[in-house]
Amino acid sequence: MKHATPRRRLYPAAIVAGVVAAVLAPLAVNAAATTISRTDAQAAADVLTAYLAQPEPTVTVTETATVTATPTASPSGPSPSSTPTVTPTPTPTPTVTGTIGGLRYAPPTLTNPVTIQIAASGGSYSASSTTDCIFVAPQVVTGPITLTGCDDRVFIGGIFQQSDTTPTGSYDSTRRGIRLYDTGSSATGTDFLEGLWFRSGKYSDAIQIAHRSTSRTVVLQNIRIDAYTWGTQAGVHADTLQCWGGPSVLHVYNLTALRATYQGVYCDQNDGRAAPSLREPWTFDNVNIVGVADTGGARYMFADRRPGQTRATASNMWISGSPYNNADSFGNAPEGVRVGTVSDMVPAALWAGGAYTSPGYTP
């Protein structure tokens, strides 16, 4: 940009030199003669006076400034000089199986179900094979239960407490926990058991499945067995879960058994009768069974007499406390069964206050 700036009286050197030369020229001549006349001096003075009388010159100065322009931001994005905001992509949260993350299986959809109240002393309960049944237990059940008949059978929430009387004989039905029997039942119904806690006492079998000829489905979910399943090789062959014959489909999800004195899971699909046709492999997920030596040493924590029929699969299943575990040829444990002791799959806190709290089904 240009602007006029007032200056002190400054004259170009060529002009000044010319004026001085014009003034001194006659003086130099007269100086050589060593005589300066008044006329010459006056003439020099007149030249200087005339020069000084000229108007003061105006000097125009041009200043150049270098300016770096700031880029204008594009309407479609931020300014290049701004710091971009970065939103990190969150790491996916792993899905956790087990009671913390919810349950795998939902109860069957019932049609006009009837509710059957179970007595504290246990007993046998049945209904028409075309009727869906809901079983309700009191706070504590002290005797064995047998469920027969019905189409779909749903039993959610219950606490079992047997006495400490030792089971006797080769088979003590009075010391059973629950027996699922398909006599009088529909051929394709579902047995859905969830939230059952065998809190204390001694049982011959905690859960026994005796489906003889039908194609029923059984789901066992959130089952905790703190009580003893009490047996010996010479006496009662006690089991945490015993399958005689069927079912056609079996899903065990979240099961803890902490005091198996003889056997854990025992599967025998024939049991002297024709085995039901299995529609899909049996599954065992999130299971831990601990064998204890109270009666001389636990035997098989997973025994499958006919693995070609069950085609059983296991995931996160742990067994311990037996000299055989899954190494013995009679054990026939499926791949996925591991030897070791882990934390409970089904914490007792689910029954805090005496009532079962379901984590709910997570599809």
Q: Is cis: bond before 247, omega within 30 of 0? A: yes
Asked if 240 and 229 count as a contact pair (C-beta separation under 8 A), the reply is yes
At 274, the pLDDT band (50, 70, 90 cuts) reads low
pLDDT at 239 over 80: yes
**Higher-pLDDT residue of 76, 287:** 287
pLDDT at 2 over 60: no
**Higher-pLDDT residue of 89, 41:** 41
Average pLDDT, the chain: 75
pLDDT per residue as tens digits for the range 314-329:
999 999 888 765 555 4
Nearest CA among 249, 138, 117, 227 for reference residue 177:
227
pLDDT per residue as tens digits for the range 71-88:
434 333 333 333 333 333
Nearest CA among 325, 310, 323, 308 for reference residue 280:
310
Q: Report pLDDT for 160.
A: 96
Task: For residue 15, give Cα distances in angstroms to 10, 59, 267.
Answer: 11, 15, 126
pLDDT per residue as tens digits for the range 54-72:
555 443 433 433 333 344 3
pLDDT at 339 over 70: yes
pLDDT at 96 over 50: no
At 330, the pLDDT band (50, 70, 90 cuts) reads low
Q: Report pLDDT for 251.
A: 97
At 43, the pLDDT band (50, 70, 90 cuts) reads low
Q: Report pLDDT for 295.
A: 65
Highest mean pLDDT among 136-140, 192-196, 328-332: 192-196
| 207 Cβ contact list (under 8 Å, min separation 6) | 177, 178, 180, 193, 196, 220, 223, 240, 241, 242
pLDDT cut 70: percent of the chain above it: 66
Q: DSSP assignment, residue 361?
A: B
Q: How far apart are CA 219 and CA 351, in angstroms?
A: 20
**Higher-pLDDT residue of 106, 343:** 106
Q: DSSP assignment, residue 284?
A: E
Q: Report pLDDT for 272.
A: 59
**Higher-pLDDT residue of 238, 327:** 238
Asked if 153 and 217 count as a contact pair (C-beta separation under 8 A), the reply is no
Least confident of 57-66, 152-161, 225-234, 276-285: 57-66
At 341, the pLDDT band (50, 70, 90 cuts) reads confident
pLDDT at 134 over 80: yes
Q: Which long-range contacts (CB under 8 A, 24 or more apart) does 233-237 make?
A: 233/262, 233/299, 235/167, 235/168, 235/169, 235/170, 236/167, 236/168, 236/169, 236/170, 236/171, 236/172, 236/175, 236/204, 236/262, 237/170, 237/262, 237/263, 237/266
What is the chain's percent helix, strand, coil content, to nearest 5?
Answer: 15, 35, 55
Q: Report pLDDT for 127.
A: 97
How far is it between the farthest Cα atoms of the chain? 166
pLDDT per residue as tens digits for the range 196-235:
999 999 988 999 998 877 789 999 999 999 999 877 777 7
Nearest CA among 261, 246, 342, 346 for reference residue 301:
261
Task: For residue 298, give Cα distances in angstroms to 33, 198, 238, 239.
Answer: 150, 19, 10, 11
Task: For residue 78, give Cα distances in angstroms to 68, 69, 70, 75.
Answer: 20, 17, 13, 8
pLDDT at 307 over 70: yes
Nearest CA among 149, 163, 145 for reference residue 200:
163
Amino acid at 98: G
Asked if 179 and 210 count as a contact pair (C-beta separation under 8 A), the reply is yes
Q: What tokens does 174 get?
A: 């009075």
- 97-113 burial, b at 16+ Cβ within 10 Å, e below that, comes to bbbeeebbbebbebeeb
- 331-342 burial, b at 16+ Cβ within 10 Å, e below that, comes to bbbbebbeeeee
